[in-house]
Structure 1
Amino acid sequence: MNDAHRPNAEGPQLRTLLLTDLCDSTTLVERLGDGPAADLFREHDRLVLVLQQRWRGRLIDRSDGLLLLFERPIDGLGFALDYARGLREMGTARKLDLKARAGLHVGEVLTWRNSDEAVKVGAKPVEVEGLAKPMAGRLMATARPGQILLSAVAEPLAHRAARELGERGQQLLWKSHGRWRFKGVPEPQEIYEVGEPGIAPLRAPPNGPKAWRDVPLWRRPAALAAEIAVLAMIGTGVWFATRPQPAIAFNQRDWVVVGDLRNLTGQGVLDDSLEQAFRISLEQSRYVNVLSDLKARDTLERMQRKPDTVLDRAVASEIALRDGARAVILPTVAEVGGRVRVSAEVIDPHTQTTVYAESADGTGANSTLGSIDTVTAALREKLGEAMKSIERDSEPLPKVATSNLDALRAYALGLKAYASRQYPEALQYFQRAIDIDPKFALAYLGALRVHTGAVDSRMGRPFLDKAVSLRDHLPPRDGLYLDGWVAEFGPHPSAQAPAKWKLLATLYPDYYGGHYNYAWASFLVNDFGEALRFAKAASVPQNAFRGNAVELSARVQLAQEQYASALRSFEQAAKIERYGPNRRHAAALAVMKRFKEADTLLSQLPTGTLLKADVTNEFERISVPVDQGQWDRAREVADRAAEAARKATPLLADEFELIRLSVLSLQKPRSVDAARFEAVLRSSLEGARDVSNRDRNIQLFHALAAAYMTQREGLSAIAARWLPELEKVSADIDDPMARQLLQVVRAGQLRLQGQPEAAVKMLRPLLADGRELFQVRVALRDALLAAGQDEQAALESKWIAGHRGRAYMEAAGDLALQTVNVADTNLAAGAMSRGGQVVANSR
């Protein structure tokens, strides 16, 4: 009584089918008996349920075997591998040889729900039909016990995504078993096997009545004449009737290149605005990845083409092939019969042929945004994205962007200027977009990015607040990006922002802003393993800012004392970005004591000016001379940098004054007027109290560093006077690196008060996870010396002298203690070479 009609029927959908069959299940019942067999099958059912949830499978049918649907081939493969392993473990526990055959195929299927009446009398809740189903069945029936067979459609998709299975995916064994003939399937099919070592048979399946190896003609002379006759009768007409339709084996997270919009309407306002709208609409997908326009233009430059070259079918296809994109999308807008038509073609970059085409018509230019949403949704479905996913991850363009085409055009021009690092021009365009449409949330977010990139958080705050008030007008991905910046500007940025950036990186693994920002947040707290992992994830060719990610990887490698790797990464980043010398590259050379090369590189950098980026070049210009013992040169640069920083921002002014005083103190201990350090402490602490200040954690670190330097100068009274206020603000901000430096200051007070053992007890726990500040080791060494534990102190001196990369790269406090760290490596190394020990600071 399966209803003849098909209620709730859906259209054809591209799905992954997995069919399995538990081998010799009837024999198992006879061998075990009804009771033990029932227990076995109950455990089997629990295993299937767990794996179904883990791999997001949809169970359609079950008896001795299973029929499951999956969105992606890699999910079906993951289920099959875990199922084979689970059966093996169940069998081992019972001294049985439990194995299943499995067939995996990708193809179009029809699904529909049976009526409640039909289900009540025994029908399945969901039915699946289509040519893909018997194909998966033939593969399963052909397989040997324990064997997983894949079709030629499923194998490349699963093989390419095998990295998602982690280390196990790298150890899988893949084998082709050649071309096979299946009963009822007109064309021979190549089949593949995949499995884990020691589990998979990795042997050719046996021939059977429904599947047999496709033997070449020359090995079948008796049938040769007959087959030639058949071929002659069929002729050219059969080729036309059976030729394959164009298609792209598109998989989740594959990339597309969006070509330049062809505007055939004559209305110039549609040029940039609709192209940007098309990107915004398409980028809402978690299934399709859109290569950024900046990355496409960068590849264009590497192709030695002019930056303004039109990305037509041929050029965009070449970019796709170079950057590993699977498809090209060419959008067009035209007037047809008095209506405005938006259309788009999906192009196979290998052949430049059109695979799919979609269009939507509307009345007037303002209809184009709705038409774009319609077209992109249809394209996403054609590329394999599930309709539920499209509905979940799509918002209308007027809601998540703007309904005003002039505002959209200004925003598009702002993005282009930002991508070219023309920040003042970009800010003007974003402001123009805001003036036209005050509810354009993406434009506020663009202005925020300009200000944060220019290290001007106070100017960026109003744009952040406005974007927050309009969060419902942002696409889901950009909403998460905004959440990250809200945490960065919040009262506890170091505690809250990393989780926000990691969430963005997890939900949108190919949106590299999340990876990079999380890597940077990890780097700031000395979590070098996590920082390197996410920086490398952002170092892929599709990332428009790949050079930044490679350079961050280099910094992490240098902090991990991987000098040769770091140097290679710095050189690679310089080639990618083509920005020439870089101060951190110079630091790497200095770490390796290649001072002449480091000095030459630093001499090519701009000198400290009103430009904040130029002022920061002075960090290494001070530290590298200190590393060489060139104190007069270091003081000259420090004086110049402090003067330039006073004209930049309060944060930089306090920081470079602290560095200047530190150089004086290092050269001539106890030569600095205590009031100077106290002035820096007071000014920095004032900035740290401002809850609206995004940099308050950095300014707290500067205040603590100033207190620490007074201790090194033997001025413990100043640190004692300010310590209660420093503790209060530190508890409010809750920054992990500031907490460590606060412990260093507390321990310093104990040591200077004659309690070195208590200082050692306070500092040792900070070494537990390997994220300790460099100066924690210095303070511990000093406390051990004061406590008379010379052998332990010598071990700390060895660590200090051997971590030159960390001394230069530790980013806590915006490099405020870099110069002190570098000086301490040389003091420790010098004392060790003399067979002695460094005298404790201010002892």
Structure 2
Amino acid sequence: MQQHRLAAIMFTDIAGYTALMGSDEDRAFEVLKNNRDIHTHFLKKYNGTLVKEMGDGMLISFDLPSYAVRCAIQIQIACREKNIPLRIGIHEAEVVFENSDVFGDGVNIASRLQESTKEGCISISESVYRDVKNKADIKTQFIEEKSLKNVDEPVRMYNVSCKEITVRENLAGNVVKDQRKTLITRLLRTVTPVAITIAIAIIIFITYSGTTIPFTERDWIVITDFENLTDETIFDHSLNTAFVLSINQSRYLNVLTRKRIIETLKRMEKDNITNIDEETGTEIAMREGVEIIIVPTISKVGTQYILTSKIVDVKTANILKSEVLYAQDEDEIIEKLDKLSKKIRRSLGESINMISDQSKPLYKVTTSSLQALKQYSLGIESHLLLDFETAKNHYKNAIVLDSNFTAAKASLGNLLFEKFDRNEGRKWLDEAIISVDNLTDREKFAILAFYAVNVENDLDKGIEYTKRRVALYPDDPAAHHNLGWYFQNQGHYDMALDEYKRTLHIDPYIILTNSGIIRIYMENYGQIDSALVWSNRMIDYSPDNPWGYFYLGSCYIGLNEFEQAEAAYLKAADLNPGFLINQYRLAHDYRLQGKYDKAIVVLETILEKNSQEASAHYDLGINYNLIGKSETARDHFLEYQKTAIKWLDDYSNDPKSYIYNGITLTRLGEKDTGWEIGKRAMELDSTIYFEYTKLLAVQDRKNEALDYLEKGLKNGYRDLVWIKLDPDLQVLHEEKRFKDLINSYFKGL
């Protein structure tokens, strides 16, 4: 079975092995065995998959480029100790896994990188470099832009240092000791003995983390829900959001988001679980490749509250460290919660300076009211579960309890603007913007970007805010996705793809991001083969989501595989019978296959569910005409015309309104009147080439229609799927010039 997905491909090869085999066979076999043992050990550590061995070479795949590079560094260091002259090349690309093998251009590029690498070195492509350039434990250097054999475009090559890891492993040893020694020596020369004692204590406190917890900067953690061991219900739901929000101010560590946890529970078929306890948190962490979980608890002895938090090793279930704080009364809890989050960050290795620089007080970024905090937390939970009405009410309750609750105002404004009432949403967004500096930096730049794009209609401004958010939090998938969406709306499709792919590196299960990639390849580039790869990937990662099959069906339309398209659309319909756009596509596909009766059944079903679906009337008119029932077709065109006339009345400045009316009149036999109305569209906008092609095709002006189709293609129109599906263009399909245009712009698809 084929599986299409994004992967980091690593090739390793022993330099000079053939010559060694000829001169010293025993030594050659020893080198090969040692090399295999080293690879086996580190592949297990970094979740690498050995695809196959090729003599003295190995082909390996990883889910993440960072894992591949860290594994390569360890392998290369171990091979140097054994005097094995190894070369390693790594590239990330869309590849095809089939029958225990892997195929694709990405495999070839990784192989060529390895061949171009010096002994004892690691070479990576730019796609890998983009993923690891901000990793503190990976050092890279640009080598050259090189043309590789059988690779169309030159590849930018980077060298990975194999020394940094030893420095990192000794951070608690010689390097830090030398730093301390230097600082202490300066102090001894300049200050009094009492001051020296104090200063040395401060220096040790600042420079020595004192932790043996296996955590690397920008690693991920899972935070379970607060276990409430008191009998006070105020602490149910109220502490989780605040605790995560406080820790999530860190740029040193990454917290698995609640949204991703919910999606993971769905994949685990445990989506009925609402409370994430230690056992569930451990399962989630293991599934997501996270090594550390944080387990917080609140209890009470007498009148005193006890806040505790365990740092737990997922693999061993060992408690690596515990933190305990005491609150004398309920009013102290938020303050102590803030301190507890900072202690956790410190225990994971974050410096005091970083914590101080990157943290705002929890009462300021949320609220000092536990009641308001609980309402806000319940709002967040409902929002993530798509229960928008309940979320709205909770946000409003939070603001009633604390009128200065900026985060609640921002969340309410965002929700109202997108799902309910834009004017009311804007009112709350305006209030949030006034006190936006009260928010965490992550929230601040998110809401500023949303406001700029949606309220001020300033896409450039929104992009700048989002770039600032990405710079502060480079592993924030939502920020990368939003940046990709903004670039896509600007028409910067290459930049959008980069951000979308970065998003899926961080969280491969974000379906909306996958959808954005498919639409760019399908509608903006006309690259159906790439859209097909990503459609299959979407199905692999979310087999219960109908959109993957919808896109797969559309790809098959582009490839003229109409029966396979039908199967994909039917699968999408099984998953969601009310998936309207999928039903329309299925009807179009039936029409292209000549299955007009089936198309009619689908379209009539649409009208049974919603009699206001004017487009179904138009498409029914097309299909009834094709089976010779012209009177029935006319009835449906007349029904559609009612809506077309209303569009013209409501949107008299929209040229497409004239096109639709002109086409409908032509279908009703009023060809001259239809032409006169349709022509007005060109007076309003002479660049709507595709729409004008439709009018000309229906008017049976085929050569002129093809002229305008060619103009559209020359000016960047690339939606091949709709060119083939649009019922008004079907009359052009058998024209030689139409086929030549498709061959020219889409390589014969």
**Shorter-chain TM band:** 0.5 to 0.7
Indicate yes or no: 2:507 matched with 1:548.
Answer: no
Indicate yes or no: 2:650 matched with 1:683.
Answer: yes
Deviations 1:265-323 (A, max 9, x none): 33221131112110111112222211113323443554566753865555534533432
CA contact (8 A) 1:494 1:521 kept: yes
Deviations 1:573-627 (A, max 9, x none): 345445343344433343333343145235436566xxxxx55555535544555
CA distance in 2, matches of 1:459, 1:606: 32
Indicate yes or no: 2:558 matched with 1:588.
Answer: no
Match of 1:744 among 679, 687, 698: 687
CA distance in 1, matches of 2:140, 2:590: 46
Summarize the Cα distance change of 1:179–1:393 in structure 2 as closer, same or farther, 3 Å threshold.
closer
Summarize the Cα distance change of 1:622–1:304 in structure 2 as closer, same or farther, 3 Å threshold.
closer
The amino acid across from 1:832 in the alignment is K
Deviations 1:532-565 (A, max 9, x none): 222222224647x623322333333333444454
Q: Secondary structure at the match of 2:486?
A: helix
CA distance in 1, matches of 2:605, 2:458: 32
CA contact (8 A) 1:414 1:427 kept: yes
Corresponding residue for 1:830?
A: 734
Deviations 1:667-716 (A, max 9, x none): 7999978886453133246xxxxxxxxxxxxxx8xx33223445666756
The amino acid across from 2:655 in the alignment is L
CA contact (8 A) 1:548 1:573 kept: no
CA distance in 2, matches of 1:273, 1:710: 56
CA contact (8 A) 2:588 2:725 kept: no
Corresponding residue for 2:241?
A: 276
Corresponding residue for 1:479?
A: 444
Summarize the Cα distance change of 1:352–1:377 in structure 2 as closer, same or farther, 3 Å threshold.
same
Indicate yes or no: 2:649 matched with 1:704.
Answer: no
CA contact (8 A) 1:681 1:704 kept: no
Summarize the Cα distance change of 1:346–1:799 in structure 2 as closer, same or farther, 3 Å threshold.
same
CA contact (8 A) 2:139 2:160 kept: no
Corresponding residue for 1:404?
A: 369
Deviations 1:426-451 (A, max 9, x none): 33433433343343333344445545
CA contact (8 A) 1:589 1:597 kept: no
Show structure 1 runs of 5+ residues with no match: 1-73, 78-146, 149-154, 189-243, 609-613, 647-652, 686-699, 727-741, 749-773, 809-817, 839-843
Match of 1:806 among 698, 719, 723: 719
Which one has a bigger Cα radius of gyration?
1
The 5-angstrom pairing of residues 457-606 of structure 1 reads 457=422, 460-490=425-455, 492=457, 497-524=462-489, 526-540=491-505, 542=507, 546-559=510-523, 560-582=525-547, 583-592=550-559, 593=562, 594-601=564-571, 603-604=573-574, 606=576
Q: Secondary structure at the match of 1:329?
A: strand
Residue 172 of structure 1 and its aligned partner are, at CA, apart by 2.1
CA distance in 2, matches of 1:401, 1:561: 47
Summarize the Cα distance change of 1:486–1:511 in structure 2 as closer, same or farther, 3 Å threshold.
same
CA distance in 1, matches of 2:731, 2:143: 45
CA contact (8 A) 1:707 1:719 kept: yes
Q: Secondary structure at the match of 1:335?
A: strand
CA contact (8 A) 2:143 2:158 kept: no
Root-mean-square deviation over aligned CA pairs: 5.2
CA distance in 1, matches of 2:162, 2:514: 36
Indicate yes or no: 2:179 matched with 1:266.
Answer: no
Indicate yes or no: 2:285 matched with 1:334.
Answer: no
Q: Secondary structure at the match of 2:585?
A: helix
The amino acid across from 2:159 in the alignment is L
Q: Secondary structure at the match of 1:601?
A: helix
CA distance in 2, matches of 1:606, 1:397: 43
Aligned residues: 544
The amino acid across from 2:511 in the alignment is G
CA distance in 2, matches of 1:277, 1:570: 38
CA distance in 1, matches of 2:739, 2:166: 74
Residue 665 of structure 1 and its aligned partner are, at CA, apart by 8.7
Q: Secondary structure at the match of 2:735?
A: helix
Q: Secondary structure at the match of 2:475?
A: coil
CA contact (8 A) 2:692 2:705 kept: no
Residue 370 of structure 1 and its aligned partner are, at CA, apart by 0.9
CA contact (8 A) 1:574 1:580 kept: yes
Q: Secondary structure at the match of 1:509?
A: coil
Residue 258 of structure 1 and its aligned partner are, at CA, apart by 0.7
Residue 492 of structure 1 and its aligned partner are, at CA, apart by 2.8
TM-score computed with the length of structure 2 as normaliser: 0.59
The amino acid across from 2:571 in the alignment is L
CA contact (8 A) 1:780 1:796 kept: no
Indicate yes or no: 2:314 matched with 1:349.
Answer: yes
The amino acid across from 1:441 in the alignment is T
Summarize the Cα distance change of 1:167–1:431 in structure 2 as closer, same or farther, 3 Å threshold.
farther
The 5-angstrom pairing of residues 30-49 of structure 1 reads none
Summarize the Cα distance change of 1:836–1:475 in structure 2 as closer, same or farther, 3 Å threshold.
closer
Deviations 1:331-390 (A, max 9, x none): 222335743232323333344334444443332122111111122223323434344443
The amino acid across from 1:529 in the alignment is D
The amino acid across from 2:439 in the alignment is L
TM-score computed with the length of structure 1 as normaliser: 0.53
Q: Secondary structure at the match of 2:243?
A: helix
Larger CA deviation: 708-717 vs 676-685: 708-717
Q: Secondary structure at the match of 1:277?
A: helix
CA distance in 1, matches of 2:657, 2:141: 48
Corresponding residue for 1:21?
A: none
The 5-angstrom pairing of residues 48-447 of structure 1 reads 161=138, 171-173=158-160, 175=162, 247-300=212-265, 302-303=267-268, 307-308=272-273, 311-313=276-278, 315-335=280-300, 338-447=303-412
Summarize the Cα distance change of 1:312–1:789 in structure 2 as closer, same or farther, 3 Å threshold.
closer
CA distance in 1, matches of 2:211, 2:521: 46
